[in-house]
Chains A and B, each alone.
Chain A
């Protein structure tokens, strides 16, 4: 079957098997290997991408289900070569170690900040609770999201004053 979707602002059309998972479509067909495959059962969240702006676990979404939709992956987080504050936050606050869960974590955290620009620690923990990180113990991920929130707020404030 043929699918057409927009991935990171670019429209792509491919001939695929109907059973192909979105995670494998992104990784093996489009070579967007930033999205990872970790468990098959929707437990680990290394495969989180956005479909129409909502985080989804791409190991349990068929590529066919993304037909006609907008998909965004970690490769589409930075804009015009400038890292998203969430990416900067993860680097500044040691929110990653092996980097395997990081793309999925960042996609979820970016979506959280889009809805709730000033989340509490508890709200951040709730937002990432469907994902597993084996390295960081989560405290530094919470700090990373807070870093992004504080810096975005400060940047917005600066724009207003300017």
Chain B
């Protein structure tokens, strides 16, 4: 076929023109994906590989009286059946969670949520393994479950975690931040105080690829190879070493292509451990791949915060203080993946983008008989919940003051000259310039015209809503002195090696789940060292091939690993400069870097390219005094602060008054993620996050009935947006670089997931203003909107 250029599509072609550095560039990973040659965990087929399937609890809370595996063991093709009791003999029935709690690999005493792992079968193929599950007889004594977090702390509530010595209630932790007394003082004297109860329901990341693993233990080498769906291969390897006793250097964790992650692939799941045990016991490679229902009912959920928000202000709209009280549902085991000192993640940024006098939050977390997890679904460590709270309560204030929500926000923004800005909860925002971002979003949306249109429509009885949210995120965890996961400091390594012919390989500790690291990181190195991205191989996702680091979540890759990549490239460039000085016979100080080569200052004719230098570094002949051969460097980057991207989102909805169906007509997203590396990839990340937002705001909820049955256990019941529920996205940007990041980039992966739900809910509530509605809880399904229109409260979760 002939490829032709269409002027209409020139914006899609500007990429390959640019040999190095930042800008739109087609992705290096795409040629394999469009050919169906991605390599995902379930694509791994090893000689003699067996298949593992897990028997799960049908009950939310029950004592396990007995497990009879005899019929399953006799089933055709079955090689192994393992129960919790068998694991307990080996000391493997429990494993640590990422929050210093423990979680059952296979239940020994009780099951504590529906879908909990009870036994596993290893068989010759997937179908034989599933057949045998049906033959395992488990005798349960069903107990009363705790499903509603509000029930968990009642004195007569059943005790869920009787496995924990001395545990007498379902309490996980209490946490507070800010100044309670100062906040109370501001509230006591404020003109206006608005309070609202706001629920962020339990949702699920549901990546298209479910979780799974292939374990291959070689008893002769004593080496475990584990292909698994993990966003944090190095952290997983360390934990496997600690739990299993297999020495860390004998464990290789390989995270191949991941079919999405969104936080779902941060925790270690019992299935991974079962696959390892299965391989050790059978001496064969063992594959475990969960199905969609298993993914939805047992792996890391997100949110599940019941929040009371309060805001204090002057009558003319000056926001003075925000206070919140949160009840957090952590499920049956505290599996939250948050830095140890931050049990509520970065929820402390609930003060938003506003210059406050005081703020205070008190949080209580509880166990319930629901799946464990807690931080997942592109949330930047609970910032999703924090941003939803502040942006919803600010809109409630606008409602109360009868003030335009855009005007209210503009009036209260932290001003550019206040940065770095320390919030009343102790977070130091690195940089920001909020008003231009907000104004651009309003211009793109045609805000004034939209308000006029709305007025006309209201007069005709039509329901149109305009919703705004303005967010500031905190991403890129460390620094390591404050932030660690199970003692592992949140820093990331990077290695760069330039080969003799000037081609390079860069090795990362983070792991892409679709974000395009193979492209972005090649561009970062290219920008710094002048080797074209096409000549830079990005290696990631294999612990034997890459330096240690904490992995990809919380939008960490660009803020942390991206900084590491830039700095390691500068280190290589410094060495190249010394070698170049020898080649050109001038002093180092007489050389200047012109992207791709060093040239003698004032004499452009005398220069050497990075490729020439690379060959010299490996070649015959002398190098300058004290310089070793080769051209490579490594670094471990420890961020000095988080980065704080921001954005302004405007959503326009229409609601059918007859059916209460919400239609998102338009969505304008203006993001400021600092320096932009590849605008195409940034836009893609934002589009995806906005779609998540539509799902959470209007469709998605992992609900339970009173017995603890999960009502969102398939994609027929757990609704994810399709192409018909979302509009054509309108995106814009401003650029406020991070002052401490070497290239000024801030990270963007979760911005839209964080920022969009409040914009959508604010739009729906705005549309319902004629009905006197000030708040309605997500997901705003037709029945909930219908209830809100009739003055009925949203039913409890």
Contact = CB atoms under 8 A, between A and B. Distances in A.
A31 B37 CA distance: 11
Interface string B686-699: 11111110000000
Given A44-B208, A99-B29, A128-B723, A37 B42 contact: yes
Contact of B714 (A39, A87, A158): A39
A102 B34 contact: yes
B722 interface: yes
A141 B34 CA distance: 13
Interface in B672-720: 680-681, 683-692, 714-716, 720
B786 interface: no
B226 to A, nearest CB: 19
Contact of B209 (A28, A38, A103): A38
A73 interface: yes
A136 interface: yes
Residue of A17, A98, A136, A140 most packed against chain B (CB within 10 A): A98
Nearest to B210: A38
A31 B45 contact: yes
B259 A99 contact: yes
Interface stretch (B3-11, B353-361, B572-580): B3-11
B688 A97 contact: yes
B2 interface: yes
A94 B292 CA distance: 26
A78 B208 CA distance: 24
Given A38-B292, A102-B34, A85 B208 contact: no
B35 A134 contact: no
A88 interface: yes
Contacts of A96: 30, 33-34
Contacts of A140: 683-684, 687
Nearest to A93: B12
B715 A44 contact: yes
Interface in A118-147: 121, 124-126, 128-143, 147
Contact of B35 (A24, A31, A38, A87): A87
B209 A98 contact: yes
A91 interface: yes
B715 A43 contact: yes
B714 A43 contact: yes
Contacts of B687: 136-140
Interface string A149-162: 01110110011000
B223 interface: no
A46 B715 CA distance: 13
Interface string A106-122: 10000000000000010
B6 A92 contact: no
Contacts of A124: 723
A100 B4 contact: no
Given A40-B291, A94-B681, A97-B515, A19 B260 contact: no
Contact of A75 (B9, B35, B291): B35
Contact of B38 (A99, A130, A141): A99
A139 B728 contact: yes
A119 B787 CA distance: 39
Contacts of B260: 97-98, 100, 134-135
Contacts of A58: none
B257 A99 contact: yes
A135 B714 CA distance: 19
Main secondary structure of the interface of B (DSSP, over half): loop
A20 interface: yes
B514 interface: yes
A41 B713 CA distance: 11
Interface residues of B, number: 68
Nearest to B13: A92
Contact of A134 (B13, B37, B126, B262): B262
Contacts of A50: none
Contact of B715 (A75, A77, A132, A159): A132
Contacts of B689: 137
A97 B516 contact: yes
Contact of A106 (B34, B262, B514): B34
Contacts of B688: 97, 134-137
A78 B31 CA distance: 12
Contacts of B293: 40
B319 interface: no
B515 A126 contact: no
Contact of A32 (B36, B681, B723): B36
A4 interface: no
A78 B6 contact: no
Contacts of B209: 36, 38, 98, 100
Contacts of A132: 208, 715, 720, 722
Contacts of B30: 90-91, 96, 99
B36 A73 contact: yes
A119 to B, nearest CB: 12
B684 A94 contact: yes
B726 interface: yes
Given A139-B728, A151-B4, A155-B4, A91 B210 contact: no
B8 A150 contact: yes
A101 interface: yes
B691 A98 contact: no
A134 B33 CA distance: 16
B26 A92 contact: yes
A83 interface: yes
A98 to B, nearest CB: 3
B2 A158 contact: yes
B421 interface: no
A7 interface: no
A142 B26 contact: no
Given A38-B210, A138-B726, 7 more contacts: A38-B208, A87-B35, A88-B34, A97-B688, A99-B30, A100-B259, A126-B723
Interface of B: 1-4, 6, 8-9, 12-13, 26-27, 29-40, 42-43, 45, 125-127, 206-210, 257-260, 262, 291-293, 513-516, 680-681, 683-692, 714-716, 720, 722-724, 726, 728-729
Q: Which 10 A-B pairs have the closest CB atoms?
A: A34-B36, A98-B514, A100-B259, A99-B33, A137-B687, A74-B36, A97-B514, A43-B715, A137-B691, A33-B43
27 contacts: A33-B40, A39-B292, A39-B715, A43-B715, A44-B292, A46-B208, A74-B34, A83-B34, A83-B35, A90-B30, A97-B516, A98-B513, A99-B514, A121-B728, A128-B723, A130-B722, A132-B722, A135-B514, A137-B689, A137-B726, A137-B729, A139-B728, A142-B728, A143-B12, A151-B3, A152-B1, A155-B2
